[in-house]
Homo-oligomer: A and B are copies of this chain.
């Protein structure tokens, strides 16, 4: 039997996974798995790190969250906002800022598609100094 390389999986409702998603959608700090664990542990004392990773993978596979690896950060971080946007990481305060997708970038993708590259995912991370730290 020939299998499609994207296996079809069915998922059930899980209160824990739902809560993880909601947390990430309300949050703007781009937490790592461990930070997420520490934030949710008080309200979910039975939560385990292993299962948190499992649920993060599922949410990512469903395109409900984004996994990001900003330059300078060792661990993967998670973002509950899946609309196209840019991450700017300040090297001074280490905060990660969300910046809306800029129209200029649309042209970039258009140019690429003319060259035969079909873009499905975009990860743009900038590093530098944020307005707060500059002043």
Contacts and interface: CB of A to CB of B under 8 A. Distances in A.
Copies in the complex: 2
Contact of A123 (B71, B115, B134): B71
A115 B104 CA distance: 16
Contacts of A72: 121
A68 B125 CA distance: 11
Interface stretch (A29-37, A38-46, A47-55, A105-113): A105-113
Given A104-B105, A117-B130, 19 more contacts: A67-B71, A68-B71, A69-B69, A70-B123, A71-B121, A71-B123, A91-B121, A99-B117, A104-B104, A104-B107, A112-B126, A116-B130, A116-B134, A119-B127, A120-B128, A121-B126, A121-B127, A121-B128, A123-B125
